[in-house]
Structure 1
Amino acid sequence: MYDAPDPKFPPRQHLGAIAAGSVGTGILAALLLAAAPFVPATEAGVTGAILVGLALGWAMLAVLAVRFTDHPQAWAFAPALFLGTGGFLLLAFGSPLHEALAWVWPPALVVLALWMTVQISRRLRSRGARLLLYPGIAVLVLASLGAGSETVRGAVDAQAPPAPGELIDVGGHRLYLNCTGSGSPTVVLEPGAGLKSSDLRWITPVVAANTRVCVYDRAGRGRSEPATTPQDGAHVAADLHTLLERGNEPGPYVLAGHSFGGLYALTFAARYPGEVAGLVLVDSTAPAPAAEQEAEPAQPAAADPDDTMSRVSALVAAAARLGFGRVVGVSDPSHLQSTVEEYLHAGSSVRQAAALRTFTDKPLAVLSAGTGSRPGWIASQEALAALSTNNLHHVVDGSTHASLIFDREDAAATARGILGVVSAVRTGSPMDPGLGTGA
C-alpha cells in the first residue's frame, strides 16, 4: 500500500514514467484489441477497438497519477471517456453509427485536444511527460482535420451530377455498368488493379465506334458499392457475370483485361466458356504455373487468412477515412480498401485464373509492354498466347505497362488489338497480325 509518493522517486520522475507506460499501454491495447477474434473484422469494429485501447491508456495515466504522485491528472479521464464511449458505440452499432459520427467526431475531437493541451500545460509539471503527450495530441488534431476534410469531400462528391450508366444489384451490393455503341460481340473491359472504368477513357470510345462495349467498376471503387465477400478472381468473375445478365447485356463477349484485369478475364472465361468468344490480355499478370497449383501448401488449421485480410483491409479503410489515401493518389476510402484487398487476394486470383487450361481456337490477342518489363515477363506473355491456336502476340514498341492504358498513342494500339479480336470473332477467321501493328 502506498499512502504517499515514494520519497526515493520524485513526483515528476513518477509522472514521466507513468506517462511513458500509459502511452505504451494504450498503443499496445489498441493493437491487441484490433486483432482480437471477438472484435468484428470491419472498419467500424476495428476502429472501435483501437479507440477503446487508446482510452485505456488515458485512463491508466489518470489512475496512476492519482495513486502514485502528489500531482493528480484527473483531466486524463476526459479523453478516456470520450474515446472509450465512441469505441464502445462503434463496436455495438457498427457502420450506421460510423457514418453518423463522421460529422460529429472531428470538431469534438479538435475541441477536446485543445482543452487537453491547456490542461497539460497547467497541470503536468514533468517536462518528459509533456514531450510524450504533446505529439499524441497533435496526432489527434491531424486525424480530426483529415477526417473532417474527407467527410466534407464525400458530401460534395455525392452532389455531383450522375454519370452515364446505372447501378445494378448483383447480390448484396450494386455495381456501376455503362455500355455504349452497338454491334456484336460485346466487348467488356477489365481495368487493372486499383483502377476504375474512367481510367479506360482512351480505349472505350474507340471500341464503341465499332461495336458494343461495356465498362464497369469493381466492388468498392468508382461508383460501385463495397462488397461483403472476399474480392478474389472467382468473386469478381461471378459479380461481372451477374452484372451483365441483370444489365441485359447478352454475350457473346470479348473480354479485355489489363494487368490484374487479365486474371479476372481468364477466370471468367474458365467459368463461363460458352459466353466468351474472344480474349484480349493487355500486359496481363500471368496465372499460377501448373507446378505451383499442384504444390500449393495447405493452410495451417489455426490460421484464418480471410479474417486477417479483413482486419488489414479495415485498418486501411480507417486510415483512408483520415485522408491518408490521398498520399497514394486514392481519394476515396472505399477505393483504397478495395485496392488493398485486391492485392491481399492476389494469390487466390492467380491460382483461379490458371483454371483456364485452353482457349481452343478462339481468337486471343496478347499485347505486351515494350519497355520496363521484368525478366521472364515476355515468356509468360508467350505462354498466355499459347492458350489458343488462333492467337496474336504483339509487343507494343516503346510502351510501358501503364502507358498501354493511360497514353493516348499506346492506348490506341490496345484498342486496335481489341478490334482485331472483334473482327476475328465476327468473320470466324484467323487473327490478322497486321491489326496488332496498326497496319
Structure 2
Amino acid sequence: MRRRPEASASPNNEPSKADRKDLDQPLQSQAEARGRLSYTSVLLNIGKCLLLIIIIPPFLNYASLQREGQMLLPKDGQIVDVGLGQKMHLLCKGQGKPVVILDGPTGTSSDIWVHVQESVATLTKVCTYDRMGLGFSKRLMQNESTGTEKVWGMSTTGRMVDDLHRLLQAAGIAKPFILVGSELGAFNSRFYSHIHDVHVSDLVLIDPIPEDIFEEDQWKQHWYGKLLPSLQARQFSAATGLSRMLIILGVIEPTIKGENVLEDVIQRQKYLLSNPAHQSSAVDEHYFLNESAAQVRDITKFKPLSSRTSVTVIIGDSFDEQIPEDLNQMVAKLQKKFLEESYPSANHIHIKGADWRMIYKKPSAISQHLRRLLNQRQAKQQSE
C-alpha cells in the first residue's frame, strides 16, 4: 500500500510562500479595517467639532442678547406704544423749549447722538429715538403688522416719518420743535417738515443726501455693489454668533469710543453689532434708500416747505472720507444743485475736516451751531 507523499517543507521548518500568503491576508484585512475605523473616527470627531462651531456660537449669542436687551436699555429711555401694535424707544434729556429732535444716519441707533445730546440738553429738552427695527425699537413680523408699510413699504422714509409722527404724538412732545437729521435722517426730516410744517420751527440738515444720487451709475455700483454686500456679511456674522466672538477677540470694535464715552454706551454698541435683528434693519434701510430718495423728491415738489420754517445745512469737506474722491465730488456737486433748488435761502455751515461722521467725531461743532440756533429761537419766543 502506497503512502501519500507529504507536502514539502522548506529548510529550517519555515512555511512556504503560499502559507505566508494565507497568513498575511487576515492581517492585511485587519489593518485595513483598523484604518477605516480610524478614518471614520476622525471624520466623526471633525463633524462633532463643526457641529459645535455651527450650533454653540449662535445659541450663546441668542442667550446673551436676551439678557443684554433688558440690561442695556438706557435708564432715561422709554418704550412708547405708538399704535398699530408697535413700540419705539425714545430717549429725552434736559428741560425747556423748543424741543430738539435728532434723527440719525442710515442703519444707526440713537447712541450716535450721545455727545450732541448731552451738550445741547443743558439748554433745552433733546430727544433721540431708534427707528423701527433699530436699537431698542423692535420691528414686528410682516404678517403681524397693520402699519403703513402697506402704503410706503418697509424701511422707507414715508414709513419712518409716519412712525416718528405717531411717536412724538404719543410721547406728548411740545410743538413746534427743531428737527435735526443726518444723511438718511435728513431725508426723514425734510419729508416730515414738508408734511407737518406747523410742527417744525427749524430744520437742520447734516450732510443731506441728494435726491437724484441713485441716477448715477457710479454711485449705484458703490452702494449696491460694495457697501450693501459688506452690510449683509455683517448681518450674517451677527446671526451666526461670529460677531460676538470677533468682538471678544478685539477684531471688531465699537464705532463710538474714547475716554469720555460711558461704558454702557460701548456695551450697547457691542450688543447691536451682535444683534441680527438690528443688522437686518440696517441692511433694509440701505437697500431701500433709493426708494426713500424718490419719496422725498415727490413730496417736496407736491408740498413746498413753509416759509415760517428756517433751514440750516451743515456740510463737511466730504460726504464720506472712506469712499473714492471722485464719488465725494459727485455728491458735493449734486448736493449744491438740490439745495439751491429746494432751499435757496438756507443758512450754510461748513465744518473743516469732517464727513457725515461729524456727529460723533466732531460733536462740539454740531452742538455749537445747535446751541446758537436755540439761543436765537428762545430769545424770539421771549420777545413774543
Q: Distance in 2 between matches of 1:159 and 1:324?
A: 22
Matches of 2:201 and 2:140, distance apart in 1: 28
Partner AA of 1:143 in structure 2: I
Q: Letter of the 1:153 partner, please give it.
A: S
Partner of 2:178: 254
Compute the displacement of 1:163 (Å). 2.0
Note the C-alpha offset of 1:135: 7.3
Q: How far did 1:252 drift?
A: 0.9
CA distance in 1, matches of 2:232, 2:356: 29
Q: Which residue of 2 aligns with 1:366?
A: 313
Match of 2:190 among 262, 266, 285: 266
Match of 1:237 in 2: 161
Equivalent residue for 2:293?
Answer: 350
Scaled by the length of structure 1, the TM-score of the pair is 0.57
Q: Distance in 2 between matches of 1:254 and 1:380?
A: 26
Which position in structure 1 is the counterpart of 2:277?
A: 334
**Shift in Å, 1:202:** 1.0
Unmatched segments (≥5 aa) in structure 2: 1-34, 142-148, 216-227, 247-251, 255-272
Supply the AA of the counterpart residue of 1:207.
Answer: V
Q: Deviations over 1:22-48 (max 9, x none)?
A: xxxxxxxxxxxxxxxxxxxxxxxxxxx
Shift of 1:160: 4.7
Amino acid across the alignment from 2:291: S
Counterpart in 2 of 1:116?
none
- Give the match's secondary structure for 2:300: coil
Distance in structure 1 (CA, Å) of the matches to 2:317 and 2:45: 52
Cα 1:393–1:137, aligned 2, differ >3 Å: closer, same or farther?
farther
CA positional deviation for 1:244: 0.5
Does structure 1 retain, via aligned residues, the 8 Å contact 2:133–2:281?
yes
The answer to whether the Cα contact below 8 Å between 1:278 and 1:422 also exists between their aligned partners in 2 is no
- Does the 8 Å contact 1:257/1:264 carry over to 2? yes
Distance 1:225 1:121 in 2: 52
Contact 2:156–2:289 (CA under 8 A) maintained in structure 1:
yes
Aligned-pair distance for 1:226?
Answer: 1.6
Contact 2:107 2:286 in 1 (8 A): no
Of 378, 385, 395, the residue aligned with 2:332 is 378
Distance (Å, rounded) in 1 between the aligned partners of 2:345 and 2:182: 20
* 1:165 maps onto 2:117 in alignment: no
Of 412, 415, 419, the residue aligned with 2:371 is 419
Give 1:225's match in structure 2, choosing from 117, 138, 141.
Answer: 138
Is 1:399 the counterpart of 2:354? The answer is yes
- The residue number in structure 2 matching 1:143 is 54
For 1:94-141, what per-residue CA distance to the aligned partner results, in whole angstroms no more than 9, with x for missing partners? xxxxxxxxxxxxxxxxxxxxxxxxxx974977x9xx6xx987765433
Q: Which has the larger radius of gyration?
A: 2
Map residues 255-334 of structure 1 onto 2, 5 A cutoff. Answer: 255-288=179-212, 320-326=238-244, 330-334=273-277
Q: Which has the higher contact order (CA 8 A, sep 6+)?
A: 2
For the residues of structure 1 that align with 2:39 and 2:204, how far apart are their CA atoms?
66
CA distance in structure 1 between the aligned counterparts of 2:280 and 2:346, rounded to whole angstroms = 36
State the Cα distance separating 1:376 from its structure 2 match. Answer: 2.6
For normalisation by structure 2, the TM-score amounts to 0.64
Matches within 5 A, 1:188-203: 188-203=101-116
Report the Cα distance in structure 1 between the residues aligned to 2:175 and 2:160, rounded to whole angstroms. Answer: 18
- How much does 1:426 deviate? 4.5
Query: Contact 1:263/1:286 (CA < 8 Å) preserved in 2?
Result: no
Change in 2 beyond 3 A, CA 1:139/1:336? farther
Distance 2:191 2:65 in 1: 34
Residues 193 and 200, structure 2, Cα contact 8 Å, conserved in 1: yes
Cα 1:322–1:165 change in 2 (3 A) is same
TM-superposed CA distance for 1:333, in Å, is 1.5
The separation in 1 between residues aligned to 2:173 and 2:363, in whole angstroms, is 25
Displacement, 1:419?
Answer: 3.1
Q: CA deviation at 1:282?
A: 1.0
Structure 2 Cα separation of the partners of residues 173 and 377 of structure 1: 35
Identity of aligned residues (%): 22
1:161/1:168 Cα in 2 relative to 1: closer, same or farther (>3 Å)?
Answer: closer
1:286 maps to a residue whose letter is P
CA spacing shift, 1:350–1:136, aligned 2, 3 Å = farther
Contact 1:363/1:425 (8 A) holds in 2: no
Q: Structure 1 pair 346/286, CA: closer, same or farther in 2 (3 Å)? A: same
Structure 1 partner of 2:25: none
1:335 Cα deviation after fit: 0.9
Q: For residues 68-92 of structure 1, give each alpha carbon's deviation from its aligned partner in whole angstroms, at most 9, with x where no partner exists.
A: xxxxxxxxxxxxxxxxxxxxxxxxx
Number of paired residues? 283
How far residue 239 of structure 1 moved from its aligned partner, in angstroms, is 0.5
Output the CA distance in 2 between the equivalents of 1:282 and 1:121.
67
The Cα shift of 1:323 comes to 1.5
One-letter amino acid matched to 2:276:
P
Rounded Cα–Cα distance in structure 2 between residues aligned with 1:261 and 1:136: 47
**Equivalent residues in 2 for 1:17-96 (5 A)?**
none
- Name structure 1 gaps, 5 residues minimum: 1-119, 293-308, 430-439
CA apart distance, 1:338: 0.9
Cα–Cα, structure 1 residues 348 and 420, in superposed 2: closer, same or farther, change >3 Å?
A: farther
The change in CA–CA distance for 1:225 and 1:151 in structure 2 (over 3 A counts) is same
Q: Deviations over 1:310-350 (max 9, x none)?
A: xxx99986753322445676121211111011111111111
How far the C-alpha of 1:379 sits from its partner, in A, is 2.9
